[in-house]
Amino acid sequence: MEANPASSGGHALSLRVMRLTKPAIVPNWPLLADKKDYCGEELIGQRDKDITTIPKIHNFPYGEVLTVPQNFGSIYLGETFSSFVNVQNESQQTVRDVVLKTDLQTSSQRMPLSNPTGQAMVSKLVPGENISEVINHEVKELGGQLLVCTVSYINTSGEKLMFRKYFKFQVLKPLDVRTKFFTTQDDEIFLEAQITNTTPHALHMQKVVLAPSPLYTATDLNFLGNGESIFGESDYINPDDTWQYLYKLTPKMTQDEKSNVKGVSSVGKLDIMWLSNFGEKGRLQSSQLQRLIQPQGELVVTVQSIPHFISSNEQFQVVLRLRNTTDRKYNLHLTLRQLPDSGLVWVGDIKKVVGEVPPCSFLDINLDILPVKSGVWDLGEIGIENLVTSKRFDYPSVGQILVGLT
Amino acid sequence: MAPLIQGSSGINAEYGDLFYEYYPGEHPGKRGSIVPWSLRLLWSILPLHCPTIGGLYGALDRMYGLVYHLDQALLAGLPYVQEQRVIKYKTSLLVQVAGALAGSGSIQPAIKLLKQIKQSQPELSVPVSNAMIRLYYQVGNIYKGQCLLAEIQDKLTEEEWEMNAGFKLIALGEYSEAYQHFARAVNLNPGNTVASINGAVCLLYLGRLGDSIIQFEGAVKTSLHPMLLFNLVSLYELKTVASTSKKYNLLDTITSKTDWEAFPFECLRL
C-alpha cells in the first residue's frame, strides 16, 4: 500500500496501489475465562460473540477471519506479483478520457503490465467515482524493480494532464540450489541437488523434477517403492532448511561415443514448483546443469560378466573387456596378481599374451577363478603391458564378488 | 495436608498459601488451587507476547509444565479431582500449545498435536479438523487440506461445508468461486459475519473494490470487531486519500454502540 498519500498532488485524480499477497488469517489470542472466575460469565459471553474464535476450541488463535494485505511484503523470484491499482476522482469536477497504464521496469527491460496501447479506460469519471484493475506478473528477474503507474486525463478546462507514480521493490531469491555429481566405478552417474529455503516462511515443495538433456535419461530416486515420498510426512521445507534430492542419470551414448566425449556435458535442468502462504505459487527452472567428463584413459578395463554369488570351491568365470580408446593398435600382455590372504585363486596362466586390440575397439577375455574362502573378495590386481610401446597399465581393483559357504 | 499439585511452575501457584486447604476457616472442605485455571492459561501464553520472558519456548515450557501437573492430578486419582474437568483443561491447554506452535512456524508439530487431540476427543473432530485444514492451506499443502476435507465432509453442516469450500478455492486462487461459496454461507445463515467478511475479501481480489467496501460496511452493522474495522479502514485508504472522514464515521459508530473504553481504536489508524 502506498505509504504517503497526503493529497493527490494538485491533481483531480489520486492513484493508490495495494500489493495483493494471499489473504492471511491473523492470530488472535482471546481472553479466556471459566464460569467460576470473577466476571467469568461476562467474559465467556464476550468470547462467544468474538467472530475470530472457533466454537469449542476457543484457545486456538487461528480462526476463520481473513484479512486483506497490510504491507508490501517480500517478493520472491518465480512468484507472481499481483497488485490492485485504484484511480479515484478526488475532485468536484468530472474528468474525461482517463488512461491508466502500468509498466514494470527491471534492470534489463521495461515491460507493460496493462494497457500497452494507452487506451482510455473510461470516457468520463464523475466526482467520487473510481477505476481500478488487478495486475499480475510472473517475476523472472532478481534485484530491484520499479512499478511505474501513469495516469492521464482531460480536465474540465480541456487540459490534458498526466502524473506518474513509482513503486520500488526488491525481488529476492527464494531458494538456494547446489548440485553435485557422483560417478561410480560402473560409470553410473548420480546427481544430488541440495535445495535450501531462503525465505522466512515454510515452502511446500510440489514438484522437483530433473528434465534431462537429450544426452541422458533420468530416474527420480526420491520416491519409495510404494510411491511415497522419501521425505515422508514432512512435505514442506522450513526456513533455512535444506532438502537433498537424488537422480540417476544414464547416458544415451554408446561406449564408443562416451570414450570420445571430453570436457563439459549438459545434463539437464531442475524444474522446481512450490506453494507457500495460502497457496501462493512459485516456480523456478535452473540453468542447464553441466557435468565435467573426466578423460577415460587409453585402456579401459571393465568387468562384463561376473556371477552375483558363488559358493566356495565352485570355479567360476569372469569376462573382462579391454577397451582401446586411442587411435593406435595395441598388442597386450596380461599379468594377474593374487592379493595376499585373498580368498580367490586364479586358475590357468597368470601371464599371457592376449592379442591385438584395434583402435577404438575392445577385446573380451575369459578368466577362471576358484574361490577358496567365503566372504567378499576383490578379484585381484591386473597388470597389462602394451607390447608395442612397452607402456604398463595397472588396475588394482576391477571388481568384487561375494563367496558363500559350500 | 500436601497440596494437590506438587512442584513449582513459576507462577508460584504451587505455594501452600495459594491452596484452599491453607484456609480451612474461610473455605471449609474446599481442596485444590485458588488460582483460577484461566489465569494459569493466560500466564502460560504471556511469553508469546513478551520475548523478554521467554518467547515461544518460554510459553511452551509453561504450557507443558501445566500439562504435567494435570497428568499428575489424573494419575493421583484423588476422590475430589473431577476427572472430566481435568481432561477438559488439558485439551484446552493442548489446543493452545498447537496454536503457539503454528504461530511460530512449526506447522508440522502443530498439526501432529491437533491430530492427537482429535483422536482423544472425538467430539472436537470437526472444529479441530477445520483448524488443521486451514493450517495446511497456510503452509501451501492444498492437497492434504482437500484430503482432510473429504474425510470430514459428511460431518459438516451445509454452512460449514460452504466455508471450507471457500477457503479451498482461495488457496487455489479461484476468488470468484470462493466468493460464491461464502455468499451461500451467508444465505444459509445471515448472521455469519465471518462469511460476509471473507466474501468481501474475495471481492477485492476480483478488482471490485466498491462492492467489497459495501459488503464490509454491511458486516459492521452486525459486528464492530477490530479485525473487521481494520480490513474496512485498509480499503478506505486504498480507495481515496480522503478516508479520514469515513474513519471518523466508524469512530462515531463505535462510541455510540459499544462499551468503548477498552476498545482498541488503533485499528482505525486515525
pLDDT at B8: 40
State chain A's maximal CA–CA distance in angstroms.
110
Residue A81 has pLDDT above 70, yes or no: yes
**Alpha-carbon gap, residue A60 to B27, rounded angstroms:** 34
pLDDT range class, residue A51, cuts 50, 70, 90:
confident
What pLDDT is recorded for position B134? Answer: 92
The residue type at B161: W
| pLDDT for res A259 | 55
Q: What is the largest CA-CA distance in chain B?
A: 68
pLDDT: is B215 or B39 the higher one? Answer: B215
The β-bridge partners of A203 are A237
Q: What percent of chain A has pLDDT over 70?
A: 94
Report pLDDT for B53: 87
- At A226, the pLDDT band (50, 70, 90 cuts) reads confident
Helical (H) or strand (E) element with A191: strand A189-197
Question: Which residue's C-alpha cell is 520475548?
Answer: B51
Which of A8, A31, A279 lies at the smallest CB-CB distance from B241?
A8
Respond yes or no on whether ipTM tops 0.90: no
B98 and A23 within 8 Å at the Cβ level: the answer is no
Rg (CA), chain A: 35
- pLDDT tens for residues A341-350? 888 898 888 8
Q: Cα separation of A268 and A228, whole Å?
A: 25
A198 class by beta-carbon count within 10 Å (0-12 exposed, 13-18 middle, 19+ buried): middle
The model's confidence at residue B81, banded by pLDDT at 50, 70 and 90, is low
Bridge partners of residue A365, in order along the sequence: A320
Q: Which of B149, B176, B204 to probe the A interface (max A CBs under 10 A)?
A: B204
Residue of B227, B228, B230, B236 to mutate, interface with A, max A Cβ within 10 Å: B227
What is the structure's pLDDT at A260? 57
| Å between B257 CA and nearest CA of chain A | 15
Q: How far is the C-alpha of B266 from the C-alpha of A17, rounded, in Å?
A: 22
pLDDT at B7 over 80: no
Asked whether residue B12 carries a pLDDT value surpassing 60, the answer given is no
What local confidence, expressed as pLDDT, does residue A142 receive? 93
Does the CB of A207 have a partner CB in chain B at under 8 Å? no
Secondary structure (H, E, C), B33-81:
ECCCHHHHHHHHHHHHHCHHHCHHHHHHHHHHHHHHHHHHHHHHCCCCC
A129/B contact by beta carbon, under 8 A: no
Range B154-172 average pLDDT:
94
Q: Which residue has the cell 521467554?
A: B54
Contact A51 B223 (CB under 8 A): yes
Instruction: Give A156's Cβ-side CA count (13 Å radius).
Output: 8
When comparing pLDDT for B150 and A228, which is higher? B150
**Sequence-separated (6 or more) residues with CB below 8 Å from residue A53:** A28, A30, A47, A63
| Mean predicted lDDT score pLDDT of chain A | 86
- d(CA B182, CA B196) in angstroms, rounded, equals 7
- List the grid coordinates of B134: 486451514
Distance from CA of B202 to the nearest CA of A (A): 9
**pLDDT confidence bin for B209, thresholds 50/70/90:** very high
Give the pLDDT confidence of A182-212 residue by residue, as tens digits. Answer: 887 666 789 999 999 999 988 999 999 999 9
Distance from CA of A363 to the nearest CA of B (A): 56
The predicted pLDDT at position B156 comes to 93
Mean pLDDT of chain B: 86
Q: What is the distance between the alpha carbons of residues A53 and A26, in angstroms, rounded to a whole number?
A: 11
Is the model's pLDDT at B252 over the cut of 70? Answer: yes
Q: Is the pLDDT of residue B80 over 90?
A: no
Please count the other Cβ atoms lying within 10 Å of the Cβ belonging to residue B78: 12
Supply the pLDDT for residue A186: 65
pLDDT band at A294 (very low <50, low <70, confident <90, very high): low
| Interface touch A90/B240, C-beta < 8 Å | yes
Quick one: angle between helices B55-76 and B37-49, nearest 10?
160
What number is the average pLDDT over the span B233-250? 92
Q: Does A400 or B148 have the greater pLDDT score? A: B148
Between residues A263 and A7, the one the model is more confident about: A263
Tell me how far apart the alpha carbons of residues B266 and B270 are, in angstroms, rounded to a whole number.
7
Q: Quick one: average pLDDT of B145-151?
A: 93
Q: Does residue A30 surpass a pLDDT of 90?
A: no
Residue A239 cell numbers, joined = 526456513
Instruction: Give the confidence band of A130 by pLDDT, cuts at 50, 70, 90.
Output: very high
Give me the residue from B107, B124, B231 closest to A68, CB to CB. B231
What's the CA gap between B45 and B59, in Å, rounded? 5
Residue pair B113/B96 in contact by the 8 Å Cβ criterion: no
Q: Which amino acid is at B121?
A: Q
Of A202, A240, A75, A72, nearest in space to A141 by CA: A75
Mean pLDDT on B234-261: 88
**What would you report as the CA-atom Rg of chain B, rounded to the nearest whole angstrom?**
23
pLDDT digits (tens, 9 = 90+) for A328-386: 888 999 998 888 888 889 888 889 888 898 888 888 999 999 999 999 988 888 899 98
Asked if B194 and A65 come within 8 Å (Cβ–Cβ), the reply is yes
Of residues A291 and A318, the one with the higher pLDDT is: A318
pLDDT value of position A284? 95
| Best of A1, A8, A11, A32 to mutate (most B CBs within 10 Å, chain B) | A32
Task: List CB contacts of A147: < 8 A, sequence separation 6 or more.
Answer: A17, A83, A102, A103, A104, A105, A113, A166, A167, A168, A169
| For residues B156-160, average pLDDT | 93
Q: What is the percent of chain B with per-residue pLDDT over 70, rounded to a whole number?
A: 92
Residue A210 and residue A247: Cα distance in Å, rounded? 8
Asked if residue A149 lies in contact with residue A17, where contact means CB atoms within 8 angstroms, the answer is: yes
Q: What is the pLDDT of residue B14?
A: 54
Chain A (83-112) residues lying within 8 Å, Cβ to Cβ, of chain B: 84, 86, 88, 90
pLDDT for the residue B144 = 92
- Would you place residue A7 in the very low, low, confident or very high pLDDT band (cuts 50, 70, 90)? very low
| pLDDT > 80? residue B13 | no
Between CA A247 and CA A241 the distance in angstroms is 20
